[in-house]
Amino acid sequence: MSSLEIIIQSIYVIAAVLFIVGLKRMSSPTTARTGIVWAGIGMLMATIATFFYPGVENFALIAIAILLGTIIAGYTAKKVEMTEMPEMIALYNGMGGGAAAAIAAVELFKDHHLPVSVTTLALIGGIIGSISFTGSLIAFGKLQGMVKGTFRFKGQHQINLLLLLGTLVLSVLVVAGFDGNATLVIMVFVIALILGIAMTIPIGGGDMAVVISLYNALTGLAVGFEGYVLQNYAMIIAGTVVGAAGTLLTQLMAKAMNKTLISVLFPFGETTQASGDAVEGEMKPIEAGDAGIMMAFAQKVIIIPGYGMAVAQAQQKVWELSQLLIDRGVDVKFAIHPVAGRMPGHMNVLLAEAGVPYELIFDEDEINQEFKSCDVALVIGANDVVNPIARTDPSSEIYGMPILDADYASNVIVVKRGQGTGFSGIENVLFFLDNTRMLYGDGQAVAADLVNSIKEL
Ligand code: NAP
């Protein structure tokens, strides 16, 4: 290795260390922003160092590609709403998988006499990256509402298994140098791309968060494999870290929904999408003034934020409301469900942004036993995560998912704009219970009305 290569590889290692430090800092809302900056500096260092690598050509093409990517990413990242973050993550994630697959393809086409270990890892990374690429695009389409419904048919999983076996058998032939031409390699990639689509279309929208996290882990793994092919330490370390972190996150999210990864990836049968008229009873409205009085004279209020709070950007007003209640001696707590909102930690980030102290924020398993002794549960923009049908209806898509037990509170106030269902599209039986009152309106406007009504007391 020349001294220039040693310097470049050392920069890659420093970049990888910066990725890891950045990731560590992202584990807390207080340090997350600087974590992104640390990781970004690492990425910049690795990118610049690559330009000096011996044998790198086509500088103009690389520069144009980087410029285009930077402009598109910068523009979309600025424009994207917080609520559309999962779609964006799915899309960028897919691009990462596609890029890893492209590296594999270039290496395999470039040189038919690669060592067996390199060919094998290039193929494994290429297959995983291709699956992640098309799978993430379908996940993006599902979240955007461009791909609607679940396409399930008999024998579907067997066909997918055959596709997977097909890529593996063809890969073995490529490694064995069976025909030495590009046809087999192309077939491996085409089947893997189809497999990504076929695997993702039967999966229900409610499970998309787990699927995106899984593809994120797979992209990391693919990048790690291709890092070995290119002998690039930064890619090996960063890919492995993303793969490991993504795998843990996938497990945690599946656990939060009380599902196994197998049941998410290989769904069987059709799920019910219960409609409003399937639920007995009626929704009973309440005015902000009455709801304000109810909370102001309560001993304990538990606030359950959900996706709607993010849409309404109501977190500041909700915290203002909480402070008024706390000043009146009310015991106020926030209950966060692990899959509330549209990305892991979504609610924690919003509440931290509004200045809610961490000691008032509780996870589902910490707070659930407290609902029985709670006077008012204020559900603001949450729906699926408080739907008691998850306990009672085995045919429901969310059956078995642990929920926040808001229905056990003496009174439940639900803030939402109208009759809209949650992410899973399932009607919520909580809204029809005797102890529930519906406070209709945009989350921010309603929270402001509640603040005013309490101030007037
Ligand atoms: P949800 O079930 O999606 O329900 C959100 C509710 O907010 C809707 O019923 C909607 O009713 C209401 N809403 C929307 N805009 C509003 C506004 N401006 N003001 C007031 N209310 C508004 O939300 P959730 O309870 O947080 O559950 C999250 C769901 O997303 C789960 O099914 C989860 O599996 C899924 N998911 C989670 C993640 C993750 O990582 N956290 C990722 C992807 C998917 P109206 O239309 O009537 O107002």
Q: Which ligand 1 atom minimizes the distance to the CA of 338?
A: 41
Q: Give the C-alpha distances (Å, rounded to integers) separating 131 from 101, 136, 144, 194.
A: 9, 8, 20, 8
Ligand 1 lined by 206 (C-beta under 6 Å): yes
- Give Cα 262 to chain centroid, integer Å: 18
Ligand 1 lined by 305 (C-beta under 6 Å): no
**Ligand 1 center–CA 86 separation, angstroms:** 13
Rounded to whole angstroms, the Cα distance separating 275 from 449 reads 31
The model carries a pTM of 0.80
Both tokens assigned to 85: 């973050």
Q: What is the pLDDT of residue 321?
A: 98
**Ligand 1 center–CA 307 separation, angstroms:** 4
331 DSSP β-pair partners = 300
Ligand 1 lined by 336 (C-beta under 6 Å): no
In degrees rounded to 5, what are phi and psi of residue 240?
-65, -40
Rounded to whole angstroms, the Cα distance separating 323 from 351 reads 13
Please tell me the total number of residues recorded for the chain in this structure: 457
Rounded to whole angstroms, the Cα distance separating 240 from 248 reads 12
- Give Cα 114 to chain centroid, integer Å: 37
Ligand 1 lined by 342 (C-beta under 6 Å): yes
Q: Give the C-alpha distances (Å, rounded to integers) separating 246 from 44, 203, 366.
A: 22, 19, 25
Q: Which ligand 1 atom minimizes the distance to the CA of 423?
A: 3
Ligand 1 lined by 364 (C-beta under 6 Å): no
Residue (of 302, 277, 282) closest to 407 by Cα position = 302
For ligand 1, atom 4, which residue shows the shortest CA distance? Answer: 422
Return per-residue pLDDT of the chain as tens, 457 residues.
789 999 999 999 999 999 999 999 988 777 888 999 999 999 999 999 999 988 888 999 999 999 999 999 999 989 988 778 888 989 999 999 999 999 999 999 887 678 999 999 999 999 999 999 999 999 999 888 888 877 888 888 999 999 999 999 999 999 988 766 789 999 999 999 999 999 999 987 778 888 999 999 999 999 999 999 998 988 999 999 999 999 999 998 888 888 888 888 887 655 544 444 467 789 999 999 999 999 999 999 999 999 999 999 999 999 999 999 999 999 999 999 988 998 778 899 899 889 999 999 999 999 999 999 999 999 999 999 999 999 998 888 788 889 999 999 999 999 999 988 888 888 999 999 999 999 999 999 999 999 999 999 8
Q: Among residues 207, 384, 407, 449, which one is catalytic?
A: 384
**Ligand 1 center–CA 92 separation, angstroms:** 23
Q: What is the pLDDT of residue 228?
A: 94
Ligand 1 lined by 394 (C-beta under 6 Å): no
**Ligand 1 center–CA 331 separation, angstroms:** 26
Contacts of 128 (CB under 8 A, 6+ apart): 97, 100, 218, 219, 221, 222, 225
Between strands 436-440 and 361-363, the pairing is unpaired
In degrees rounded to 5, what are phi and psi of residue 336?
-115, 125
**Ligand 1 center–CA 275 separation, angstroms:** 17
**Cβ atoms < 10 Å from Cβ of 54:** 8
DSSP 82: G
Ligand 1 lined by 307 (C-beta under 6 Å): yes
**Position of tokens 């979240």?**
143
Ligand 1 lined by 205 (C-beta under 6 Å): no
Q: What is the pLDDT of residue 277?
A: 44
Sign of CA dihedral 64, 67, 68, 69: positive
Is residue 211 within 8 Å of residue 90, measured between CB atoms? no
Q: Which ligand 1 atom minimizes the distance to the CA of 398?
A: 32
What CATH topology corresponds to 288-455?
Rossmann fold (3.40.50)
Rounded to whole angstroms, the Cα distance separating 155 from 356 reads 50
Between strands 361-363 and 331-336, the pairing is parallel
Both tokens assigned to 67: 């410029």
Q: Which ligand 1 atom minimizes the distance to the CA of 339?
A: 41
Rounded to whole angstroms, the Cα distance separating 111 from 66 reads 26
**Ligand 1 center–CA 385 separation, angstroms:** 9
- Amino acid, res. 58: N
For ligand 1, atom 16, which residue shows the shortest CA distance? Answer: 308
Ligand 1 lined by 416 (C-beta under 6 Å): yes
In degrees rounded to 5, what are phi and psi of residue 151?
-100, 100
In degrees rounded to 5, what are phi and psi of residue 74?
-60, -45
Both tokens assigned to 457: 């007391």
Is 384 marked active-site?
Answer: yes
Q: Which ligand 1 atom minimizes the distance to the CA of 344?
A: 40
Ligand 1 lined by 25 (C-beta under 6 Å): no
**Ligand 1 center–CA 440 separation, angstroms:** 15
Give the CA-trace dihedral at 271, 276, 277, 279, to 10 degrees. Answer: 80
**Ligand 1 pocket test: which of 258, 383, 413, 429 has the largest number of ligand atoms within 8 Å of its C-beta?**
383
**Ligand 1 center–CA 211 separation, angstroms:** 18
Q: What is the pLDDT of residue 208?
A: 84
Ligand 1 lined by 126 (C-beta under 6 Å): no
Ligand 1 lined by 343 (C-beta under 6 Å): yes
